Amino acid sequence: MSELICNLPAIKVKVRREYLRDLEDGHGEFVDGIWVSAKSIPGRAFYFETYLPEYGALFDKLPISAFLSQAETPTPDMPLNNLQFWNCMDYGVVAISKQFIGSMDYEVLTRDFGLQKGTYIATLDNYHADINSVDFSTSEQPDEHKSFNLLELNNGQFCLYPNNRMRVYDNSLTPDEPKRPDFKVSTEFYQVENGNDTRLGDTDEYFWKTKKESSS
């Protein structure tokens, strides 16, 4: 069971050197890096562990705003709260690749910089990993849970955005003028066992029947 940390795709990035210098100096300088892992601590931004080949070193606790795809200051140069919309929701974290939509066109609605286009990399998702600890988070509440889709933006930055701040377009499947979503936030807990009239504790039949099937 994954807790706190998960592997990331080995994406080559440029690290803004000021983040390696505790924001004291190094502004406008860049260091080659390769992503290694992501760390999830509730109430904080995701921390990215990155390998720095020219130093033979690992550096973790870097937020998504520390990274660029090119060694140049982006336009617009968006701050962290425009690159990750929500804090981590729990210690439990997994990283997956959504293969079906991975190659489609992406568009995110930022807080302050309007629509920004990008390319999909992977998705980070939180869950409550330890059933023996009190769940103080909302990572498994249907109306509060968020996915963190990791994208490389066209301006050279990276972002982590939830599904409801993002549109995904496919050249073959999406119409030229797609509908505006009018969805409601899901509040239901869906399950299929409780509330049924079938109990099987007194039968050893392999091909058992429900009460309704037996009476028909």
Query: pTM for this structure?
Result: 0.89
pLDDT score of 104: 96
Beta bridge partners of 47: 39
pLDDT for res 78 = 98
Q: Which residue has the higher pLDDT, 180 or 143?
A: 180
Confidence class for position 119, pLDDT limits 50, 70, 90: very high
The angle at the Cα of 165, spanning 141 to 47, to the nearest 5 degrees, equals: 70
Residues 86-97 pLDDT 10s: 999 999 999 999
The whole-number average pLDDT for the span 150-162 is 98
Return the domain boundaries, the chain: 5-212
Whole-number Cα distances in Å, 54 to 30, 32, 57, 190: 12, 8, 8, 51
Pick the closest to residue 42 from 130, 110, 121, 112 (CA basis): 130
Residue 57 CA to residue 25 CA, distance in Å, equals 19
92 or 210: which leads in pLDDT: 92
The answer to whether the beta carbons of residues 178 and 166 sit under 8 Å apart is no
| pLDDT above 70: percentage of residues in the chain | 98
User: Taking residues 163-178, what's their average pLDDT?
Assistant: 95
* Backbone phi, psi, residue 18, to 5°: -60, -25
Residue 1: the pLDDT is 47
What is the torsional sign of CA 38, 40, 44, 45?
Answer: positive
The predicted pLDDT at position 63 comes to: 98
pLDDT tens column, 25-84? 999 999 999 999 999 999 999 999 999 999 999 999 999 999 999 999 999 999 999 999
Q: Are the C-beta atoms of 140 and 114 separated by less than 8 Å?
A: no
For residue 2, is pLDDT > 60?
Answer: no
**Cα angle value 120/113/50 (rounded, 5°):** 45
How does the average pLDDT of the chain come out, rounded? 92
User: In this predicted structure, what is the pLDDT of residue 99?
Assistant: 94
